[in-house]
Amino acid sequence: MKVYTYSEARQRFTEVLNIAREEEVIIKRRDGETFTIVFKKTPKSPFDIPGLKTKATTKDILSAIKDSRKNRSEQDVSMES
C-alpha cells in the first residue's frame, strides 16, 4: 500500500495510477480526509472473441445455414418413419 499527499498524487498522477494496478494507493488531504484508489479490471464477455478472416460472403453463410436446416429437417422426418 502506497500513501501520497494530495499534492504528490496530483504531481505524479500517472505514477499513482500505474502503482494502483498492483497495489492499493491512499491519498491523504491536508484536512485528514483519505481516499483510496484501486484498479478495477473490466470483465470481458466470453463472447468477446476476435473475428475470423474469410472469403465467405453473407450469401454463402446464409446458404450454408439454409442447407443445414434442410438436412436437419429431412433427418427428423426419416426418424419419425
CATH number of the domain at 22, please: 3.40.1620.10
Residue 80 placed within a domain = no
Residue 21 placed within a domain = yes
Task: Give pLDDT tens digits for 12-66.
Answer: 999 999 999 999 999 999 999 999 999 988 888 888 888 888 899 999 999 999 9
Residue 78 placed within a domain = no
Instruction: Give the whole-angstrom CA distance, residue 19 versus residue 4.
Output: 11
Residues 6+ positions from 54 with CB-CB distance below 8 Å: none
Q: What is the domain count for the chain? A: 1
Range(s) of the domain holding residue 22: 2-37
